[in-house]
Amino acid sequence: MKLPGAPDLPETVASDLAAALAAKGPSFEPRTHHQDERGRPHFTNRLILETSPYLLQHAHNPVNWYPWGDEAFEEAARLSRPVLLSIGYSTCHWCHVMEEESFEDLAIAEAMNAHFIPIKVDREERPDVDAIYMSAVQAMTGGGGWPMTVALTPDRRPYFGGTYFPPRAGARGARVGFVELLARLSEVFQSEPELVEGNAATLSAAIKEAMTPVPHPALPSIEVIGEAVTALARRFDPHFGGFGSAPKFPRPAVFDLLLRVHARTGDPRVLDLVTRSLHAINRGGIHDQIGGGIHRYSTDERWLVPHFEKMLYDNAQLVVSLLDTFRASGDREFSAWAHETLAYVEREMLAPEGAFWSATDADSEGEEGTFFVWTKAEIESLLGPELAPIAIRSYGVTDRGNFERRNILHRPEEDAATAAALGLDVERWRSKLQEAAQILYRARKLRPPPFLDDKILLEWNAQLISALAQASFVLEEPRYLALAQQADDFLARALVRDGRLLRAYRQTARHPAVLEDYVFLIAAQLDLFEVTARVDYLERALSLHASLETYYLDPRDGLFTGAAKDVPGLLCPEKSGYDGAQPAGNSIAALNALRLEALTGQEKYRSIAERILRGFGSSLGSGALGSPKLMTALEAYYDEPTEIVIITPAGADPKPMLDVVRRAPKVTGYCLAIEPGAAQGALAVRVPAVAGKTAQGGRVTAYLCHRGTCLLPTTDPAELALSLSKRKPLGPLVIPRPLG
């Protein structure tokens, strides 16, 4: 059926769409209300030719959607129409709402098709496009989010932007709905070109300003780290943990900064900010108590009611924070939680190809959170008289519920208090609760599941590879290393073309890699190298970094752009130092450069890090709550890297020495366990600090060095532990009293 208000599709395009639809097979269930009696869609648009799950969700809207590309903008220029750009992602609740209310509405679709060239973008596949137009929306409205709606001129400049719009005036209390907005945007474009040009010029200038930080002539001083800790302490929630008020995001980059400061100062108050926050998250509804993993964020201050989608990157970052917190505190709550999170990822997110899928939706059965919540009656029926009281008490289940008359499972009490109230010792209670959780998990698996976004993103997989590699060392679990290497091998096979990285894989590899793909993959290679001491991982990290410098580094200011220099069709290259739900690419680039300098001894990498820190010096010096990962890089810059080389003769066991490192807080530097021959081979060429190191008396021997200056070698783990405990103070860092 013809798309309402749209011209007839070119014959070749129509043929391609028909073939793509036929290839879906007879079991295909189109995501649309517009179907015939046999379940076949009335409408099909160009998005059927895409592989992105998000774009495919919209392939049967009555909207004449185009994917991002020259074809759409050329058509807009030919017809003298504006482009209507809609950006979202597949597990976004409000994206689904706007699709249902507006993009499935025939009258709204007709208005879009008749007066605009509509373009759909998956922000996870094209974060470079998303960043540009998000800057415009933030300049116009002071905020941003998804779904994002932007009106563009045919030369890609925005003249209006916003986020979610209700379909019509009056809906959800709106004075202006989407249909009225479309009419106004089209009218202005056709009859008020001066206004459109003025808005486009103003917003384009705002984009350029937002995306081009002003370099600072001086490197930020070490004092700004203390100021950042002070600011975080003032925002700390002493009742529920975390920082600020609702909504609350876990934001592991903040935890990582605090853990690094604690490692340098030994101040228990800094560590307390992390442990109390993570403990609260662990017991909240944001943590899937029976399935594992965390949801994206909490809508309330108590970490109780989450936004229910689960993202691979959140869970990957969380694992690293848990490992580092375990190392700093010794509290096995955090190591157990890391194991559980990785078990969830392996069980539910591992693709047949050996890498990992992206996310699961918040919605199922047409409602948010349905898959995850329970009535008290359901739990009683499933668990019976012995286990039901244990689960009900442990998970805070009530008749009224805490979410639309159903219950988000959480842990309102400490373990000992719950066990005592149930008349059980703690170990017996834990065993029974685990038994109940397994029954509930099996029952939940029978429910219609949330949508799975099964694309494989390089950036997010690289983050998980790092988490798995580090977990294999800290938790002494070889399986995690095997999973990391398997995923890394797939990325190397599937997401490299002509020596360049690609970003996304689903049936085929697509889209140019962005800065974050490169920097997180470099970090993953360095983590694999530290765990295995295989020089090929270090070689790949160095090769990737060379490509990064070639295609992403702006030599004028020393900052890296979000997209490669040769990616066409972008208004302005982004240079971000904002560490939000995920760290900024420049933040990770600075940390990578400092790691490479520590390993190779090459000063050029330190210079790269220094130029990044100078480039964002103004924002670092003015509070840095928006750049905690970049602040971590600043701490690493002022740190003296700890270089540990453990020489292990054939047949000897390095575990006692490695256990010392595992139990110590993670600091700047590296630890390599190698056989004596490696100290004279290719590894010694790349890592000068290992050259000439020998096993003393045929025993496992540890060398502790700082920038090539080494203490006497030791064969005694206790002596290594004592040396590691003598950390260099964090300069003139002043932490206020009281803190938190």
Among the ranges given (86-100, 185-199, 206-220, 421-435), the one the predictor scored with the smallest mean pLDDT: 206-220
164-203 burial code (b ≥16 CB/10 A, e <16): bbbbbeeeeebeebbbebbeebbebbeeeeeebeebbebb
Q: Which pLDDT score is estimated for 26?
A: 85
pLDDT bracket for residue 622 (50, 70, 90): low
- Check whether 581 has a pLDDT greater than 60: yes
Cα–Cα distance measured from residue 534 to residue 545, given in angstroms and rounded to the nearest whole number: 18
Summarize pLDDT for 12-34 with one digit per residue, the tens: 999 999 999 999 988 888 999 99
| Rounded CA separation 461/312 (Å) | 8
pLDDT value of residue 431: 97
Please give the pLDDT value at position 733. Answer: 60
- Residue pair 257/266 in contact (Cβ under 8 Å)? The answer is no
Identify whether the C-beta of residue 248 lies closer than 8 Å to the C-beta of residue 172. no
Question: 677 pLDDT exceeds 90?
Answer: no
For residue range 215-227, list pLDDT tens digits in order.
777 899 888 998 8
Whole-number pLDDT of residue 217:
78
Q: Is 554 helix (H, G, I), strand (E, B) or coil?
A: strand
Whether the pLDDT of residue 214 is over 90: the answer is no
Closest CA to 645 of 702, 713, 576: 702
- All domains in the chain, ordered by first residue: 11-211 (3.40.30.10), 223-364+453-638 (1.50.10.10), 370-449 (no CATH), 642-725 (3.40.30)
The answer to whether 268 and 329 have CB atoms below 8 angstroms apart is no
How sure is the predictor about 263, in pLDDT bands with cuts at 50, 70 and 90?
A: very high
Give me the percent of the chain exceeding a pLDDT of 90: 86
Report the pLDDT averaged over residues 582-595: 97
User: pLDDT at residue 207 above 60?
Assistant: yes
Which run of H or of E encompasses 501? strand 500-506
Query: Residue 713: CB partners within 8 Å, gap ≥ 6?
Result: 693, 696, 701, 702, 703
pLDDT at site 734 = 57
Query: What are the start-end ranges of the E strands in 209-256?
Result: none
Q: Give kind and range of the element (H or E) at residue 502.
A: strand 500-506
Confidence of residue 667 (pLDDT cuts 50, 70, 90): confident
Coil vs helix vs strand at 482: helix
The predicted pLDDT at position 620 comes to 87
23 neighbors 32 (Cβ within 8 angstroms): no
8 A C-beta contact, residue 252 and residue 632: no
Q: How confident is the model at residue 521 (pLDDT cuts 50, 70, 90)?
A: very high
pLDDT of residue 732: 57
DSSP H helices, 117-222, are 127-141, 178-191, 193-211
Indicate whether 736 pLDDT > 70.
no
In angstroms, the CA 558 to CA 533 distance is: 31
pLDDT of 735 reads 61
In this prediction the pTM is 0.96
Confirm if 474 and 452 have CB atoms less than 8 A apart. no
CA–CA dist 236, 45 (Å, integer): 49
Average pLDDT over every residue of 658-682:
91
Mean pLDDT across 409-414: 97
Reported confidence tier of residue 197, pLDDT bands at 50, 70, 90: very high
CA dist., res. 170 & res. 662, Å (int): 60
Q: Is residue 703's pLDDT more than 60?
A: yes
pLDDT tens column, 140-159 = 999 899 999 999 999 999 99
> Looking at residue 737, what is its pLDDT?
58
Q: What is the pLDDT of residues 96-150, one digit of tens each?
A: 999 999 999 999 999 999 999 999 999 999 999 999 999 999 999 998 999 999 9
